[in-house]
Chain A
Amino acid sequence: MAEAATLSPAGRRRTDRVAERANADWAPVREIALANETAALDQLTRWIDGLGRDLAAAETVVFDLKLCAYEAVANIISYAYDDDGHHLIKVYADVAPGAVALTVEDDGRPFNPLERPSQRPADRLEDASIGGHGIRLMREIADAVTYRRVDGRNRLTIEKRFG
């Protein structure tokens, strides 16, 4: 397709991403590149607040999107890389009528959070584990989560429906 040939590599990835959602109603709206450092998490939450304002999304939808993306990116920053080098984590926002999808892409080691067994919540405080809850939180709060490994990158899509 001639149009695709004119796209930059980043643009082609966006087009592929929307196409793979198998729904012509999805459209890309925003993207951000984050460094693999803790300070990027504040940048991410501000970016999602801005996205929520642009979409006039309800406070709960913005909270849920922020939470899911935050847990995904925090996990990548903490565990995805075997080196201390600089890496970029990209987050793309796509919208469709009544839904928002955030796709988080990283070049870290392959990791599919959907294959991780869910940790059962403890009944008693003395049995509670202190950490390791981020992935369950993301899976429970999102309406759909999909994972693909594409061109040496993890691509996690978190979808939230509303309205």
Chain B
Amino acid sequence: MQIDAVEIRDGVAQVNLNGSLDVSGAARIERELATTVRSTRDLIVNLAGVSFLSSQGVRVLVANAKAMQSRGGRMLIIGATPNVGKVLKVIGAARIIPMAESLDDALKLLEAPGG
């Protein structure tokens, strides 16, 4: 599991995740994801490179999304494959962490009133 983070614009960062986001994958990215979450207002999480997602991976995403919300920020997800999207939907994460089709759509969601 690999993670890289880039700043998209002031207050908005994007992280790209690649590999299996499971027990060991979540452990590998946990620290860097938390560091990125602390350093930005809003975060776009790109899951296009995530080939497998287990409940332990969702747990890390939801925990960080909650941390961002408590500070007035938001987390959005882009790039989920149909299989990964299915996991997010069944667990209910897709209802509470907004998902967008593309980076442009995610940025528009952040610009929308209340975003």
Residues of A near any B CB (own CB < 8 A): 38-39, 41-42, 45, 59-60, 63-64, 66-67, 70-71, 74, 120-126, 128, 130-131, 133-134, 136-137, 140-141
> Which among B8-16, B54-62, B106-114 touches the partner chain?
B54-62
A35 CA / B41 CA spacing, docked (Å): 42
Question: Are the CB atoms of A128 and B96 closer together than 8 Å?
Answer: yes
Question: Are the CB atoms of A122 and B55 closer together than 8 Å?
Answer: no
**Chain A residue at smallest Cβ distance from B64:** A130
Using known A-B contacts A125-B69, A130-B66, determine if residue A45 contacts B52 with beta carbons closer than 8 Å. Answer: yes
B82 within 8 A of A: yes
B42 within 8 A of A: no
Chain B neighbourhood of A130, CB < 8 A:
59, 62-63, 66
A130 CA / B65 CA spacing, docked (Å): 10
**Chain A residue at smallest Cβ distance from B51:** A63
Residues of B near any A CB (own CB < 8 A): 20, 22-24, 52-56, 58-59, 62-63, 65-66, 69, 82-83, 86-87, 90-93, 95-97
Chain B neighbourhood of A136, CB < 8 A:
90-91
Query: How far does the Cβ of B47 sit from chain A's closest Cβ, in whole Å?
Result: 14
A122 CA / B83 CA spacing, docked (Å): 21
A64 CA / B41 CA spacing, docked (Å): 35
**Chain B residue at smallest Cβ distance from A77:** B23
Question: Are the CB atoms of B92 and A63 closer together than 8 Å?
Answer: no
Question: Are the CB atoms of B62 and A74 closer together than 8 Å?
Answer: no
A23 CA / B86 CA spacing, docked (Å): 30
Question: Are the CB atoms of B95 and A121 closer together than 8 Å?
Answer: yes
Q: Which of B20, B23, B55, B91 contacts A121 (CB 8 A)?
A: B91
